[in-house]
Structure formats: C-alpha cells, structure tokens
Amino acid sequence: MILTVTLNTALDITYRVRALRPHTAHRVTEVTERPGGKGLNAARVLAALGHRVTATGFAGGATGRSLKDQLTHTPGVVDALVPVAGSTRRTVAVVDETTGDTTQLNEPGPVIAPAEWSAFLDTYTDLVRSATAVALCGSLPPGVPVGAYAQLVRTARAMNVPVLLDTSGEPLRRGVAARPDIVKPNADELAELTGSHEPLQATRDARRRGAHTVVASLGAEGLLAVNAEGRWRAVPPRRLPGNPTGAGDSAVAGLLSGLVEHLPWPARLARAVALSAATVLAPVAGEFDLPAYEELLDRVAVTGEATAA
C-alpha cells in the first residue's frame, strides 16, 4: 500500500470559460469538482496505474464532507482522512479555452487545533506500519507546526519506509534536514531552498542539506535527478498545450510507482515525465490522458550518467 499525505486537502473546482478577461462577467461553459490537494491528486494517478493507495490528511465542514463523498467513489483509493472542526478549503481554477492558460485561486485552509494534529499523528503512525512508500505533499494548513513534515519524515524512516517530500518554503527546508529519500521541488522552490538558480548546482546543494535524491521539476524542460548513484535528465518529446494544474503531482505518482516497482532511475524519470505531460492534456488535476501517456512514455529522452554526484 502506498500512503499519500495531504495536510491541506481541498475541493478543486474547475471553471472553463471561452476567454478570461478582467473586469467583465463570464459565462462558464463547464464546471468540474474533484477531491484535491497535491497528495490526493497523486493518489488518483497511482490508483489509475494499478497501485493500492491510502489517502490521509484532514477534512472538515461541508466542503470536507463533499470531498470525502467523492473520494469514496474513487476506485483504488482508501479514505483515511482525519476529521477536523474547521472547513476544508476550496481551490478554484479558471481555464481560458482560447489560450489554454489557467488562473488559480487557493483558499488558506482550516485552522488545525493541537488535539487534531495529535490525532493525525496517531493515524499516520498506524498507516505507515503497513505502507510500502509515503508521499508527503503540499502546503501546511494554519495551526500545523512548521516542522510537521520533518517529524513525518523521521517517523517513516524509523520504520524503514521510503518517503517522498513535495512541499516548499520553510516546511521544505526543515523537511530536507530530516533526510527524506526523495524531494521533488520545482525550479523556484529549489532556488528558494538553496539560493542557486542553476538547476544542477541547486540539486547538489539540496542533497548536501539532507535529501538522498533530489528530483527537480523544470516545467516543460522535464526533470533533473541527482543522487549518490548519478544524475539524469528526462525531457518530454514536445511541449504540450493545456492545463498544467496537477502535472507535478502526476510526476510524484510516477516517481513513487517506479520506486515500489524497483525500476531503475531512468525508467522512473521517463514514467514521471510522461505522466506529467499527459496530465496537461487532461481536463482536471489527478487525471491523465492514457493514450498520450502510452505514446509519450517511449519517446521521453533520458540522458545521464551513473557516477557519484
């Protein structure tokens, strides 16, 4: 079982409009709702790949009930969300059908009380015992300690369960110091962590801070991975137009599935890039275009060398 953790879950609402223009009224052509947050997006992709997935984090209020109802009907994903008094946030994505651009509005999330955080820690510890891998994903809701991910990384590592961390800012800095097996920052997050805007130098610096493997997400330029075994670059065969929301979460699913299947690093990266690119073609986060994925997988260019980083 793969465990995904989304501390700041969301109900993702996607509006599609013909063209998005400021200061005007818009007629929405399509509305979709999905359980959201980075870990839940990754969980749906993992389940679509055939893996057993358990999703934990927080859910509360009317929005949380709607999220849980929809998650119940997601094949392959087990709901282990912890109830809270506050209301789960909503995120709104507005897709401009003319340009393909997406505008995102993200609410902050509910305030988590100390007793609720303690209850989550008990749930998480129990779940990790039967997990083959753990993904810790996304932002922290108000009230959760800034060192929360570092604590969760240490718990997983104490049970010899590999853990991937995908967050930003101070939670990332503290989490890296706890020595996660994989961190997956994007270029901006990596630069904020290390102070370097040169991707290879920044990934090496992030490794020195504690991460065993750093996989930098470079958008349309693919992924760069550096660890003790070597370094690799994986690039999609072409730039794909569409909605990039959730593309990084699909990359997380590709990396985790490759880890539990014991694929070599080039194959893991090719899968992650193909899934990420195929997600751009899907209408909402947490889904991917299967024919595009299958076509792209064999065409992702992976270069690198198996030498010490």
Catalytic sites, residue numbers: 249
Asked if 167 and 211 count as a contact pair (C-beta separation under 8 A), the reply is no
State the maximum Cα–Cα separation within the chain, in Å, rounded to a whole number.
Answer: 57
Burial of 87 (0-12, 13-18, 19+ CB in 10 A): middle
DSSP state of 88: P
d(CA 176, CA 45): 25
Q: Which residues contact 157 (CB under 8 A, 6 or more apart)?
A: 163, 178, 179, 180, 181
d(CA 161, CA 155): 9
Asked if 189 and 176 count as a contact pair (C-beta separation under 8 A), the reply is no
Label residues 72-81 b or e (16+ Cβ within 10 Å = b): eebeebbbbb
Residue 44: closest CA among 70, 22, 83: 70
Asked if 128 and 161 count as a contact pair (C-beta separation under 8 A), the reply is yes
59 residue type, one letter: A
d(CA 236, CA 43): 23
Asked if 3 and 78 count as a contact pair (C-beta separation under 8 A), the reply is no
Dihedral of CA atoms 128, 251, 168, 180 in degrees, nearest 10, equals: 40
d(CA 170, CA 167): 9
Count of residues for the chain?
309
